[in-house]
């Protein structure tokens, strides 16, 4: 039985599946799901999963993800699958992938880094490890751990 069917079907929109149990809240903040937006959102927190034991699932109606949102999600849910739903059917499905280069959306943890100065320099990191996740700043060479990344996303 597909237990995710406990969550209602959507007609058009995006399903973010295989999110680690409890990480849905991070995904919602990446998507800026808040009182200002009117899309309906269904969330399953720690639903049983064959592959993962427990997982979170997020279904957003009438919303499709931007590249930067998918890249951000890859840091909180590296195994997530994204499905595009059109007229109740999945028309496209892919896995998120950690980007080799991370430009602009993570703040370097080094307060003295040039990317944190009032210069028009966006942050830039290279992926150095996938499990555990680790990235290195192209400007100051400081490495950031998974936990540090999640706090600066
Ligand atoms: N119309 C829909 N509305 C909402 N969610 C849907 C809809 N159709 C599929 N889903 C959900 O999208 C996700 C992917 O669907 P799919 O049928 O590929 O699942 P699956 O066979 O369990 O695949 P996987 O191996 O990725 O777990 C599942 O979580 C499923 O419940
Ligand atoms: Mg499944
Ligand atoms: Zn830096």
Q: Which of 50, 61, 83, 93 to mutate to test the pocket of ligand 1 (most atoms within 8 A of CB)?
A: 83
* Ligand 1 atom with minimal separation from the 88 CA: 1
As for ligand 1, residues whose beta carbon falls within 6 Å of it are 2, 4, 9-10, 15, 17, 57, 59, 81, 83, 85, 88, 90, 93
Predicted confidence band of residue 26 (pLDDT cuts 50, 70, 90):
very high
34 Cβ contact partners less than 8 Å away, ≥ 6 residues apart? none
Q: Where in the sequence of the chain do the CATH 3.30.70.140 domains occur? A: 3-95
Instruction: Please tell me the distance between residue 115's alpha carbon and the centre of ligand 2 in angstroms.
Output: 40
* Ligand 1 atom with minimal separation from the 10 CA: 3
Q: Which of 33-37, 39-43, 92-96, 101-105 has the lowest mean pLDDT?
A: 33-37
Cβ atoms 73, 96 nearer than 8 A: yes
> By C-alpha distance, which of 51, 71, 44 is closest to 133?
71
102 Cβ contact partners less than 8 Å away, ≥ 6 residues apart? 71, 123, 124, 125, 126, 127, 135
**Separation of alpha carbons 115 and 112, rounded Å:** 8
* Ligand 1 atom with minimal separation from the 51 CA: 27
Q: Averaged over 20-27, what is the pLDDT?
A: 96
Residue 17 confidence (pLDDT): 97
**Average pLDDT, whole number, for the chain?**
93
Predicted confidence band of residue 34 (pLDDT cuts 50, 70, 90):
confident
Q: Averaged over 32-41, what is the pLDDT?
A: 81
pLDDT tens for each residue of 99-152: 999 999 999 999 999 999 987 889 999 999 999 999 999 999 999 999 999 999
DSSP the chain: --GGGGSPP-SSEEEEEEEETTTHHHHHHHTT-STT----EEEEEEEEETTTEEEEEEEEET----HHHHHHHHHH-TT-EEEEEETTEEEEEEE----SEEESSS--S-TTSGGGSSSS---EEEEEEETTEEEEETTT--EEEHHHHHH--
Model-wide pTM > 0.85: yes
Ligand nearest to the CA of 111: 3
Fold (topology level) of 3-95: Alpha-Beta Plaits (3.30.70)
Instruction: Please tell me the distance between residue 31's alpha carbon and the centre of ligand 3 in angstroms.
Output: 25
CATH number of 101-151: 2.30.30.20
Residue 43 confidence (pLDDT): 94
Predicted confidence band of residue 6 (pLDDT cuts 50, 70, 90):
low
**Separation of alpha carbons 118 and 114, rounded Å:** 8
Decide if pLDDT at 1 tops 70.
no
Q: Where in the sequence of the chain do the CATH 2.30.30.20 domains occur? A: 101-151
* Ligand 1 atom with minimal separation from the 8 CA: 4
């Amino acid at each position: 039985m597909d237990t995710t069917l406990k969550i209602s079907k959507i007609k058009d929109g995006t399903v973010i599946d295989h999110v680690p149990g409890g990480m849905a809240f991070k995904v919602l903040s990446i998507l800026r799901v808040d009182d200002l937006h009117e899309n309906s959102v269904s969330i399953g927190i720690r639903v049983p999963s064959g592959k993962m034991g427990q997982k979170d699932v997020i279904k957003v109606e009438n919303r499709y993800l931007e590249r930067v949102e998918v890249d951000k999600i890859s840091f909180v849910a590296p195994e997530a699958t994204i499905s595009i739903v059109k007229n109740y059917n999945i028309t496209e499905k892919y896995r998120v992938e950690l980007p080799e280069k991370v430009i602009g959306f993570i703040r370097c943890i080094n307060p003295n880094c040039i990317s944190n100065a009032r210069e028009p320099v966006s942050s830039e990191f290279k992926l150095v490890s996938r499990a555990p996740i680790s990235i290195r700043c192209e400007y100051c060479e400081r490495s950031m751990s998974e936990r540090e990344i999640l706090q600066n996303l």
